[in-house]
Amino acid sequence: MLIGTTLAACTGKSNSDNPFFQEYTNEYGAPPFEQIKNEHYLPAFEEGMKQHQAEIDSIVNNPEAPTFANTIEAMEYSGELLNKVSTVFFNLQSAETNDEINKIAQEVTPKLTGHSDNIYLNDKLFQRVKTIYEAKATLGLNPEQERVLDKIYKRFVRGGADLNDEQKAELREINKELSSLELTFGQNILAETNAYKKFVTNKDELKGIPENVLAAAAEAAKKAGKEGQWLFTVSKTSFIPVLQYGENRELRKELLLAYANRCDNNNEYDNKEIINKIMKLRVKKANLLGFESPAAFILDNTMAKTPEAVYSFLDKVWQPALAKAKEERAELQKLMDAEGKGEKLEPWDWWFYTEKLRKAKFDLDEEQLRPYFKLENVRKGIFDLTTKLWGLQYEKLEGMPVYNPEVEVFKVTNADGSYVGLLYTDYFPRPGKTVGAWMSNYKEQFIKDGVNHRPIIVNVGSFTRPIGDKPSLLTMDEVETLFHEFGHALHGLLANSTYPSLSGTNVSRDFVELPSQVMENWCWEPEVMKTYALHYETGEVMPKELMDKIQLAGTFNQGFVNTELLSAAILDMDYHSMKEVKDIDVTAFEKASLDKIGMIPEIIVRYRSPIFKHIFEGGYSAGYYSYTWAAVLDADAFQAFKETGDIYNPTVAKAFRENILEKGDSDEPMKLYHTFRGADPNPDALLKKRGLK
């Protein structure tokens, strides 16, 4: 399809100034970011929806009997222009937004929702799909074709295709309102995050905080026009070191509560009423589609299948995690008591006394490690790891179009020189970027007319910035996050599916975290650390003594880590297990959820409801458990390497690539895992790994 020609025929005028209406001239098909302006988005969205609808109408009105090729494949490869503009816009809306982009998002999101409903509530189209689905046993389809047919059929049914006209109209309104509410929820978090600024004028208030952290805070204050002061924000790279090392208890308290209480301040960015509206609409939608709760509806399309299965799974990990957290609490309180201040452990004390305890138990101070975790070295270590495992090669490309000067671009190839895809990396926080880390794509892999269209993947993070002559020196958590997100990138880069909807990370939520989390297993292996843990000034490898301490401290503070994480997963499930459309008091609901499971007050749930972006905007509703679910898979998968005595074992690596990384959603997730591992995953591997058994 020649997009420019099609557009000219539709509009009768030239649109040569809009880059979305042209073929990208870059040899890799990369977006020309330097040419894209905000005014280009709406016309491209409008024309993209128009063209896509025309393609759908052509399928619906095809006088020939429905076939896999003229209906299912035609749908899979439709919407080229719409996909082209959507991938750029929504990636930048997360990583490089501004007020104008946010306004465009508010305008276009309900239209896109309506456009999707026009497809999946189209009865004539559904009847064509249904005819093929009911005859699939006679069509001689290959496994991938069967999978995409099942996926599209289920998408129609779950999208309301079996509803009557009145119900369909009701569903359209629900979807439209939900899309706007979810978008506003995320925009409120970004606005509230950017709004908080804590300026400190007296350095005596900053005792204990490492000099590199103070230098970053001083630089931030200078940029904000407050030279000679120190600026702290609710970005984790800014406030977490204060929680770990700051002797000023009141400052620790202020920063932690500012972070945890975002969008819960009864101001214009408060998200509590938005949550109330979202949940009423989600319950209404689930009931309309024949499910008793949103969780039942969502989980019907996952590995877990039912809310009962998720609750049962979470409880098995929650009980030992909570017990471990209580042991840790007692140890930390003992440390506080020894100081003779008569203070009781509070959430803003946990990080601070944990660092003291880490030092006492293992003679390990995380600040000792930072000089060995230069970001570029860690990334190269990951590159080297994937070269050893799968033969991947990386070439940094200069002069490529990027959306921010900090973005870097790498060409990825196989050992034989064949092209794999492009990888963009964008690692540092800034006001226009959502807090956190993620992987996404600007182009998905698929095969059409015998051509394997290779992907364009991006890894985004919010890591410690370079300051002056000092490079970005990562914390242990940031090192793990870099490995984690690179696992997602590999899932996208190595994808090898025929159909776009089966490609890469287009898998169920409780399977998508396997490729990312398995990468974390290599992170602290001494063999791997020797390739990246190099002192940023001397280039010397981290001493064995320090590496040994990291190994010894491997299960340290895991009660806290798992309690914080699992409580959020249970809170998510409690919201989405609601069966009735009713008003809820969000604050009371959250408290009741945490009280029910015996959450100790010294730990704050990882995401309080008003900032729980994963479940109220990010697609992880009734799915936050998947991080722990996939952790069972990743611990067991890494054992496949460990059992051979070689963490780079080429046979196991090949099997993991061919059966997991390349397959995407081309078969049932557990079937893919079985093919790789030869057995069900063993949950004990996770409990042992985390020191909970």
Q: Residue 40 sits in a domain of what CATH number? A: 1.10.1370.40
Whether residue 186 lies inside any domain: the answer is no
pLDDT in tens, 521-538: 999 999 999 999 999 999
pLDDT of residue 4: 29
pLDDT at 10 exceeding the cut of 50: no
DSSP per-residue codes, 608-646: -GGG-HHHHTSS-TTTTTHHHHHHHHHHHHHHHHHTTT-
Whether residue 3 is predicted with pLDDT greater than 70 in this model: the reply is no
pLDDT for 609 beyond 50: yes
Cα 658 to chain centroid, rounded: 23
Q: Say which residue, 467 or 115, is predicted with more confidence.
A: 115
pLDDT of residue 5: 27
Same domain for 590 and 565: yes
The yes-or-no verdict on residue 194 having pLDDT over 80 is yes
pLDDT digits (tens, 9 = 90+) for 643-684: 999 999 999 999 999 999 999 999 999 999 999 999 888 888
Three-state SS letters, 218-266? HHHHHHCCCCCCEEECCCHHHHHHHHHHCCCHHHHHHHHHHHHCCCCCC
Residues facing residue 284 across a β-bridge: none
Chain length of the chain: 693
Same domain, residue pair 313 and 256: no
| Residue 648 backbone dihedrals phi, psi, to 5 degrees | -110, 15
Q: Assess whether 227 and 329 both reside in one domain.
A: no
Domain contains 432: yes
Smallest CA-to-CA distance from 474 within 364, 556, 369 is with: 369
- Token output for 60: 């619906």
Residue 181 domain-assigned?
no
The count of other CB atoms within 10 Å of the CB of residue 268 is 8
Q: What is the dihedral of CA 121, 127, 133, 139, to 10 degrees?
A: -140
Whether 112 and 34 share a structural domain: yes
The reported pLDDT for the residue numbered 15 is 65
Q: What is the CATH number for 599?
A: 1.10.1370.10
225 CB burial (10 A radius; 0-12, 13-18, 19+): exposed
Q: How many domains does the chain have?
A: 4
- Asked if the model's pLDDT at residue 186 lies above 50, the reply is yes
Half-sphere exposure of 613 (CA within 13 A, CB side): 17
From 73, 76, 485, 602, active-site residue: 485
Q: Does any domain span residue 276?
A: yes
The Cα 212–Cα 218 span in angstroms is 10
**Which domain, by its residues, includes 242?**
196-260
Same domain for 590 and 676, yes or no, is no
Residue 231 β-bridge partners: 199
CA nearest neighbour of 576 among 308, 362, 282, 167: 282
Residues 516 and 532 in one domain: yes
pTM: 0.93
At how many degrees (to 10) do helices 347-362 and 249-260 cross?
A: 120
Whose tokens are 């557009």? That residue is: 7
From its phi and psi, is residue 619 left (phi > 0), alpha (psi between -120 and 50) or beta?
left
Task: Measure the CA–CA gap between 16 and 386, rounded to whole angstroms.
Answer: 41
Is 485 catalytic? The answer is yes
Per-residue pLDDT at 248: 98
Tell whether 242 is covered by a domain. Answer: yes
| Reported confidence tier of residue 693, pLDDT bands at 50, 70, 90 | confident
Does the pLDDT at position 13 exceed 60?
no
Q: Pick from 141, 162, 183: which residue ends a domain? A: 162
How is residue 78 written in tokens? 């439709």
Q: What is the pLDDT of residues 374-401, one digit of tens each?
A: 999 999 999 999 999 999 999 999 999 9
Mean pLDDT for the chain overall:
95
Same domain, 390 and 532: yes
Q: Looking at this protein, which amino acid is placed at residue 262?
A: R
How far does CA 444 lie from the centroid of its chain? 17
Residues 292 and 154 reside in one and the same domain:
no
At 456 the pLDDT is 98
Q: Does residue 267 fall inside a structural domain?
A: no
- What is the average per-residue pLDDT within 63-68? 98
Instruction: Compute the average pLDDT of residues 544-573.
Output: 96
At 229-250, the pLDDT tens digits run 999 999 999 999 999 999 999 9
User: Quick one: pLDDT at residue 684?
Assistant: 82
Rounded CA-CA distance 71/68 in Å is 6
Contacts of 339 (CB under 8 A, 6+ apart): none
What confidence category does residue 310 fall into, taking pLDDT thresholds of 50, 70 and 90?
Answer: very high
For residue 307, tell me if it sits in a domain.
yes
Question: Which of 616, 636, 665 delimits the end of a domain?
Answer: 616
Residue 672 shares a structural domain with residue 594 = no
Taking 90 as the threshold, does the pLDDT of residue 11 lie above it? no
